[in-house]
Amino acid sequence: MIGLIRAELTKFRSVRGWLIGCGIAAVLMVLLAVVAAAGTDARVGGPGARGALPRASDGTPVLDGFTFLQQPLDGDGTLTVRVPSLTGVALRPPTPGDSVPDEQEQATPEPWAKAGLIIKAGTTSGSAYTAVMVTGSHGVRMQHDFIHDLAGPTDARWLRLVRSGGTVTAYASSDGAAWTTVGSAPLATGAMSAGIFVATPPHQEYEQFLGGTSVIGGGAIATGTFDNLTAAGIGAGGDWNLVSVGADDSPNRPESTSTRNGDTFVLRGGGDIAPVDGGTGPKLEQLLSGGFMALTVLAVLGVLFVTTEFRRGMVRTTFAATPSRVRVLAAKSVVLGAVTFAVGLVASTAALLVGTAIRGSNHYPADALTQVRIVVGTAALIAVATVLALAIGTILRRGAGAVAAVVVLITLPYILSAAAVLPAATADWVLRITPAAAFAVQQTVPEWPQVDQAYTPAFGFFPLPAWGGFAVLCGWTAVALVIAAALLRRRDA
Amino acid sequence: MTAALYAEWTKLRTVAGPFWLVALAAVLTTALSAAAAGAVTCAGAGCGVDAPMVALTGVQLGQAVVAVLAVMVVGDEYRTGMIRTTLAATPSRAVLLGAKSVVVAGATLAAAVPGVLGAWLAGRLIMPGRGFTAAHGYAPLSLTDGGTLRAFAGAALYLTLVALLSLGIAAAVRDAPTGVGVVLGVLYLAPILVAVVSDPDWERRLRQIMPSDAGSAILHTIDLPALPIGPWPGLGVLALWSAGALLLGGLLLRLRDA
Amino acid sequence: MEATIEVNDLRKAYGSTVALDGMTFTVAPGRVTAFVGPNGAGKSTTMRVVLGLDRVDAGTALVGGRPYRSLRTPLRHVGALLDASALHPARSGRDHLLWQAHSQGLRGQRVDEVLKLTGLADVGRRRAGGYSLGMRQRLGVAGALLGDPPVLMLDEPFNGLDPEGIRWMRGFLRALAAEGRAVLVSSHLMSELQDTAGHLVVVGRGKVVADTSVADLIAAASSDRVTLRTVARTEAMTALARVGATVAVTERDTLTVDGLPADRVVTVLSEAGVPFSEIAAHRATLEEAYMELTKDAVEFRATEVAR
Q: Are A340 and A386 within 8 A, CB to CB?
A: yes
CB nearest to B176's CB, from A400, A423, A426? A400
Give how many domains chain A has, as a whole number: 2
Give per-residue pLDDT as tens, A431-449: 999 999 999 999 888 888 8
CB nearest to A404's CB, from B67, B79, B216? B67
Residues in chain C: 307
Q: What integer best gives the mean pLDDT of chain C?
A: 85
Residue A248 is predicted with a pLDDT of 56
Three-state DSSP class for C77? Answer: coil
Together in a domain, A460 and A479: yes
CB nearest to A286's CB, from B40, B54, B196? B196
Q: How confident is the model at residue A11 (pLDDT cuts 50, 70, 90)?
A: confident
Three-state DSSP class for C138? Answer: helix
Asked if the Cβ–Cβ distance from A408 to B200 is below 8 Å, we say no
Together in a domain, C270 and C129: no
A396 interaction partners in chain B (CB closer than 8 Å): none
Structural domain contains residue C110: yes
Together in a domain, A271 and A286: no
B255 interaction partners in chain C (CB closer than 8 Å): 55
Which chains does C contact via 3+ CB–CB distances below 8 A?
A: B
Q: Is residue A368 pLDDT above 60, yes or no?
A: yes
Structural domain contains residue C17: yes
C53 interaction partners in chain B (CB closer than 8 Å): 84, 87-88, 257-258
Closest CA to A178 of A154, A152, A150, A156: A156
Together in a domain, C154 and C272: no
Locate all alpha helices (DSSP H) within chain B, ordered by sequence.
Answer: 2-13, 16-39, 51-54, 59-80, 82-89, 93-126, 146-173, 176-196, 200-209, 211-215, 231-255
Q: Is residue C151 pLDDT above 90, yes or no?
A: yes
Structural domain contains residue A50: no
Pick from C99, C125, C131, C151 the residue to mutate for testing the B interface (most B CBs within 10 Å): C99
Closest CA to A29 of A386, A380, A291: A291
Q: Is residue A98 pLDDT above 60, yes or no?
A: no
Structural domain contains residue C306: no
A169-179: average pLDDT: 92
Q: Is residue A48 pLDDT above 60, yes or no?
A: no
A139 lies within 8 A of chain B by CB? no
How close is the nearest chain B Cα to the Cα of C117, in Å?
A: 20
Which chains does A contact via 3+ CB–CB distances below 8 A?
A: B
Rounded to whole angstroms, what are the CA distances from C25 to A328, A364, C53, C183? 50, 74, 19, 13
From A26-30, A43-47, B15-19, C141-145, the region with the lowest mean pLDDT: A43-47
B3 lies within 8 A of chain C by CB? yes
Which chains does B contact via 3+ CB–CB distances below 8 A?
A: A, C
Asked if the Cβ–Cβ distance from C48 to B257 is below 8 Å, we say yes
Q: Is residue C215 pLDDT above 70, yes or no?
A: yes
Together in a domain, C251 and C145: no
Structural domain contains residue C302: no
**Domain range annotation of chain B:** 2-39+49-255
How close is the nearest chain B Cα to the Cα of A361, in Å?
A: 15
Which amino acid is residue A346, in one-letter code? V
Together in a domain, C239 and C266: yes
pTM: 0.84
Of the two residues C249 and B23, the one the predictor is more confident about is B23
Q: Are A328 and A322 within 8 A, CB to CB?
A: yes
C127 lies within 8 A of chain B by CB? no
Range of the domain at A39: 2-43+281-490
**Burial bucket for residue A142 (CB in 10 Å: 0-12, 13-18, 19+):** buried
CB nearest to B91's CB, from C52, C54, C96? C52
Together in a domain, A262 and A286: no
Which amino acid is residue B201, in one-letter code? D
Together in a domain, A333 and A239: no
A285-298: average pLDDT: 90
Together in a domain, C157 and C273: no
Structural domain contains residue C34: yes
Of the two residues A105 and A365, the one the predictor is more confident about is A365
Q: What integer best gives the mean pLDDT of chain A?
A: 85
Q: Is residue B27 pLDDT above 90, yes or no?
A: yes
Together in a domain, C109 and C41: yes
Percent of chain A with pLDDT over 90: 39
C54 interaction partners in chain B (CB closer than 8 Å): 257-258
Together in a domain, A252 and A387: no
CB environment A412-450: b (16+ within 10 A), e (fewer): bbbbbbbbbbbbbebbbebbbebbbbbbbbbbbbeebeb
Together in a domain, A448 and A308: yes
B130 interaction partners in chain A (CB closer than 8 Å): none
* Final residue in a domain of this structure, among A255, A275, A295: A275
Q: Are β-strands A220-232 and A77-90 bridged in parallel, bridged antiparallel, or unpaired?
A: antiparallel
B194 interaction partners in chain A (CB closer than 8 Å): 419
Q: How confident is the model at residue A236 (pLDDT cuts 50, 70, 90)?
A: low
User: Containing H/E element for C20?
Assistant: strand C17-27
Q: A493: Cβ–Cβ under 8 A, 6 or more apart, which residues?
A: A315, A316, A319, A325
Closest CA to A422 of A378, A463, A368, A393: A463
Q: How confident is the model at residue A42 (pLDDT cuts 50, 70, 90)?
A: low
A419 interaction partners in chain B (CB closer than 8 Å): 191-192, 194-195
Closest CA to C267 of C227, C230, C240: C240
CB nearest to B91's CB, from C55, C71, C83? C71
Q: Are A474 and A383 within 8 A, CB to CB?
A: no
C68 lies within 8 A of chain B by CB? yes
- CATH code at C265? 3.30.70.100
Asked if the Cβ–Cβ distance from C53 to B15 is below 8 Å, we say no
C271-287: average pLDDT: 79
Together in a domain, C55 and C204: yes
CB environment A483-492: b (16+ within 10 A), e (fewer): ebbebbeeee
Asked if the Cβ–Cβ distance from B14 to C99 is below 8 Å, we say yes
Residue B97 is predicted with a pLDDT of 95
Asked if the Cβ–Cβ distance from B177 to A415 is below 8 Å, we say no
Give per-residue pLDDT as tens, B205-223: 888 999 998 998 999 888 8
Q: How confident is the model at residue A179 (pLDDT cuts 50, 70, 90)?
A: very high
Closest CA to C217 of C248, C184, C194, C187: C194
User: Containing H/E element for A385?
Assistant: helix A368-396
Asked if the Cβ–Cβ distance from A289 to B189 is below 8 Å, we say no
Of the two residues B202 and A158, the one the predictor is more confident about is A158
Give how many domains chain C has, as a whole number: 2
Q: Is residue A80 pLDDT above 90, yes or no?
A: yes
* Final residue in a domain of this structure, among C188, C212, C236: C212
Q: A52: Cβ–Cβ under 8 A, 6 or more apart, which residues?
A: none
Decide: B and A in contact? Rule: 3+ Cβ pairs under 8 Å.
Answer: yes
Q: How confident is the model at residue C179 (pLDDT cuts 50, 70, 90)?
A: very high
- What distance in Å separates the CA atoms of residue B115 and residue B190, rounded to the nearest whole number? 24
A289 interaction partners in chain B (CB closer than 8 Å): 192-193, 195-196
How close is the nearest chain B Cα to the Cα of C57, in Å?
A: 12
DSSP class of residue A233? T
Residue C304 is predicted with a pLDDT of 44
A404 interaction partners in chain B (CB closer than 8 Å): 64-65, 67-68, 180, 184
* Final residue in a domain of this structure, among A275, A294, A313: A275
Q: Is the dihedral of CA A416, A417, A421, A426 positive or negative?
A: positive
Residue A207 is predicted with a pLDDT of 62
Give per-residue pLDDT as tens, B49-80: 888 988 999 999 999 999 999 999 999 999 88
Residue C299 is predicted with a pLDDT of 44
Together in a domain, A255 and A300: no
Residue A12 is predicted with a pLDDT of 87
- CATH code at A221? 2.60.120
Together in a domain, C247 and C132: no
DSSP class of residue C210? E
From A372-376, C57-61, C128-132, the region with the lowest mean pLDDT: C128-132
C87 lies within 8 A of chain B by CB? yes
B220 lies within 8 A of chain C by CB? no
Give per-residue pLDDT as tens, C70-94: 888 899 999 999 888 888 888 999 9
Q: Is residue A213 pLDDT above 70, yes or no?
A: no
Q: Is residue C119 pLDDT above 70, yes or no?
A: yes
Q: C20: Cβ–Cβ under 8 A, 6 or more apart, which residues?
A: C10, C11, C12, C42, C45, C46, C49, C56, C59, C206, C207
Q: How confident is the model at residue A49 (pLDDT cuts 50, 70, 90)?
A: very low
- CATH code at C155? 3.40.50.300
- What distance in Å separates the CA atoms of residue A348 and residue A367, rounded to the nearest whole number? 16
Locate all alpha helices (DSSP H) within A420-465, ordered by sequence.
Answer: 424-433
A207 interaction partners in chain B (CB closer than 8 Å): 48
Structural domain contains residue A49: no
Q: Is residue B232 pLDDT above 90, yes or no?
A: yes
Structural domain contains residue A48: no
Q: Are β-strands C58-63 and C254-258 bridged in parallel, bridged antiparallel, or unpaired?
A: unpaired
Range of the domain at C159: 5-212
Q: Is residue A194 pLDDT above 50, yes or no?
A: yes
**Total Cβ atoms within 10 A of residue A237:** 5
Which amino acid is residue A324, in one-letter code? S
The ipTM is 0.93
Q: Is residue C307 pLDDT above 50, yes or no?
A: no
CB nearest to C53's CB, from B14, B76, B88? B88
**CA-based nearest residue in chain A for residue B221:** A210
Q: How confident is the model at residue A269 (pLDDT cuts 50, 70, 90)?
A: confident
- What distance in Å separates the CA atoms of residue C153 and residue A245, rounded to the nearest whole number? 92
Together in a domain, C160 and C249: no
B68 interaction partners in chain A (CB closer than 8 Å): 400-401, 404
Q: Is the dihedral of CA A63, A69, A74, A78 positive or negative?
A: negative
Q: Is residue C305 pLDDT above 50, yes or no?
A: no
Give per-residue pLDDT as tens, A402-425: 999 999 999 999 888 877 677 778
Give per-residue pLDDT as tens, A99-120: 555 565 565 678 888 999 999 9
Phi, psi of B164 (to 5 degrees): -70, -40
Long-range contacts of A99-108 (CB under 8 A, 24+ apart): A101/A219, A101/A221, A101/A254, A103/A221, A108/A136, A108/A137
- What distance in Å separates the CA atoms of residue A436 and residue A254, rounded to the nearest whole number? 42
Together in a domain, A92 and A215: yes
